[in-house]
Structure 1
């Protein structure tokens, strides 16, 4: 079979999307106008593990990315917030499968009937592992500031301000703070730090954002005091994902520069993502406690919005377990036949986080059932109160309707007006008529009670 020739990487991706519909989002991204310039960081490792680092801007000359001196054993390229133009140039230079870029870009999956699924959902875990590349998609907890800056009209769905706009979901306020969940991705294609989030509606309001409490905990052993002064200059104060991964790579590597393994090269990014997953589970635990308090005072705190939030958390925990399961398959596949002590520890960390997600998922399921029942009880209580109010209005009408009817009847003659001789006839007719109406109203209740006895 003769393979078709393509004039550009964009044409090649378009051709592949006919066989793999999940790549259609990549085609849309490649046809976009060029956004902000990406930052490319190159790490060259020699045979003895020494690393040299240098950065390039997208607009500069990137042709020497594909060439290296004989002293370089391994080259690692990190690209922060990759642009459409850079995808075309890098993909063509290294002959990269379009699914590699599509899995990084495509995260939205709104409706199956109108859009094809993303590559991570359309591909089986075994096929993903065999391809040899996996992007680490996870959530980071964002602090949007005081909850007073937001109101009920602020949308739930926000976006990050980057070339690859990530979903940011606004959460219910906690202790006067407005928190949000932002989806990010890292490995060799890295998201830029989220400093601003945007509304997706017509207003396009902007809100400042930063990682809650500064971000994840550093997983490396801390330096001792006598050595700490010498390493302060290597600390990444901005706590960006690219900076954190680079800082770990500049330390003695955990892989062999002569024959690197996929799992060992991905070690630092895996540790960063699992640290963020741990913060994510702590956030779920905090919201579980928040909803437990809501259930204790259903009259003033429990609302229909709580039911929607609980359903969202249940959906998030299910999707999180699926992502961790795919990650575990990838580690198990590439850890065969290699010294995988570090890989086994990562698998244990994944199992620990999965167990926590399972526990919180069961708690959310139970709270959702209880909250739904309580909302139904509140609706029933409101219906009973409304019925009591209607009955009171009925009794008032039973008094005044006969009076007004008799009044209008006798007003046809002047002899029955107040102060005339036959005014007493009005009361003689109206009062028995009221009693007759009351008897007609309460007779079914009296009759039912008599039948019981």
Structure 2
């Protein structure tokens, strides 16, 4: 089981870093209910047992998967996937949804020897569905393990997410692509407070939700790093089977890790919608030939895939090589939408840094030195740098996707093959915005240096004023100290006139020395 000795709360929590072990957010989310024994009686799980044995024998990349399968086993989380099969051999495709893993097992056992092309779509990784698919098709456990987590780094000393060597991958029959989903989230708590810890959806997968903290740059957009995985095989009768594994939607509630207690804090979502309406519909044929065409639902990747596969035959896969075509197009569409969001965010930062020198009132009169308009940079430098870090990470994901799809990056987008242009173009755009985000960071750091230089000038000016005051008062104090020894030099006495006669020349001489000595020293240095 997943270690729950202490909840890891982020990179700043150094103590928990040492004992986080094979940590996952769903270990602290609301716990599931047991499955009804009458409907789901206990049974053997040979596939899960294989994963267990592989973990013990040294496959550390499967330990997170083993923990998740064991955590959900016997609970409602073992059944919360959605699954369907699309039978594509007939003239009209037929969709059969599975309402439980038992329905899936019955279908797999009855259709094993039927010569048909079947495309299975599975949403989320649930123990009973993994057991059914894995046992029937003898799927490598690494297929599920790679899809389970999309972390930037891991803290466990025993579990890893290291993938197999690129040279050992199974051609185009098994791959897993990373993509970014941007969504508007609205709710009573959004935009009102900043949660420095992570946000998570209540799923079996590790999916972190990123939102900008309330303030100058808050936009209400949540980004989620997601995966879509593909597996296929060719049958001896000429048919084929393929499985597409996708992420579930965010849902109506997300959870904040609670720093002060063991239970997470729920945040209700009142409304959510895709960023700028979602990805562009690529089914142009139906759009031009019918007035009742509404486009994909864009509620989840699962629903969109079923929608497109039930459309016209012109975009329906017949050969195994075409089975993942619609999936790739949808993922490329998500990336294009996310690139538009990245472009907007980086452009806003560029504009803010460009305008930060100006600090004018409504009538255009300067109210303060120009560098004071840059003081917001000291507060927002973390946000600026975080965008540079995020775009760099997105660029790395894009490069990994090219490797998964066996696409060699050409010198220019125009040189890419037609079916590869989408992914090469996405990589090209991300590379552009990564450079622009680096330029924004460099500009911000340069402007902060300008702030410090202006502050140094002000401090030097203040020091100069103090020096001038000292130059003025020191001769007077010195002369007064000497003449105050008594006698006729005290005020009102006969020789008091000696005081101004001595003090004034000394003061003038001091000012001359202050003005002339620095210039003389500079002249000697030259």
> What TM-score do the two structures reach when normalised by structure 1?
0.75
SS at match of 1:239: coil
CA contact (8 A) 2:471 2:510 kept: yes
**What is the match of residue 247 of structure 1?**
307
| 1:22-50 deviation per Cα after TM superposition (whole angstroms, max 9, x unaligned) | 22321232233456442333224264343
Is 1:81 the counterpart of 2:137 in the alignment? no
Is 1:38 the counterpart of 2:77 in the alignment? no
**What is the match of residue 329 of structure 1?**
406
Is 1:350 the counterpart of 2:437 in the alignment? no
| 1:116-136 deviation per Cα after TM superposition (whole angstroms, max 9, x unaligned) | 6524xx333333343821122
**What is the match of residue 25 of structure 2?**
none
- Unpaired segments ≥5 residues, structure 2: 1-43, 230-243, 358-372, 410-415
CA contact (8 A) 2:275 2:337 kept: no
Tell me which protein shows more helix as a share of its residues.
1
Alignment partner of 1:206 out of 263, 267, 278: 267
* CA distance 1:356–1:7, change in 2 (3 Å): closer
Give the CA deviation at 1:363: 2.9
Is 1:186 the counterpart of 2:205 in the alignment? no
Q: Distance in 2 between matches of 1:317 and 1:238?
A: 22
**Is the deviation greater in 75-84 or in 60-69?**
60-69
Q: Distance in 2 between matches of 1:8 and 1:422?
A: 115
**Is the deviation greater in 88-97 or in 73-82?**
88-97
Give the CA deviation at 1:220: 0.9
**What is the match of residue 275 of structure 1?**
333
Q: Distance in 2 between matches of 1:321 and 1:352?
A: 10
* CA distance 1:380–1:128, change in 2 (3 Å): farther
How many residues are matched?
A: 428
Give the CA deviation at 1:435: 8.3
Alignment partner of 1:138 out of 154, 157, 179: 179
**Is the deviation greater in 188-197 or in 97-106?**
188-197
* CA distance 1:29–1:441, change in 2 (3 Å): farther
**What is the match of residue 456 of structure 2?**
383
| 1:372-395 deviation per Cα after TM superposition (whole angstroms, max 9, x unaligned) | 333322332233333434544565
Q: Distance in 2 between matches of 1:449 and 1:152?
A: 56
Is 1:27 the counterpart of 2:66 in the alignment? yes
CA RMSD of aligned residues (A): 4.5
Q: Distance in 2 between matches of 1:318 and 1:46?
A: 36
CA contact (8 A) 1:35 1:163 kept: no
> What TM-score do the two structures reach when normalised by structure 2?
0.66
Give the CA deviation at 1:272: 0.5
Q: Distance in 2 between matches of 1:175 and 1:408?
A: 62
**What is the match of residue 312 of structure 1?**
389
Q: Distance in 2 between matches of 1:397 and 1:72?
A: 101
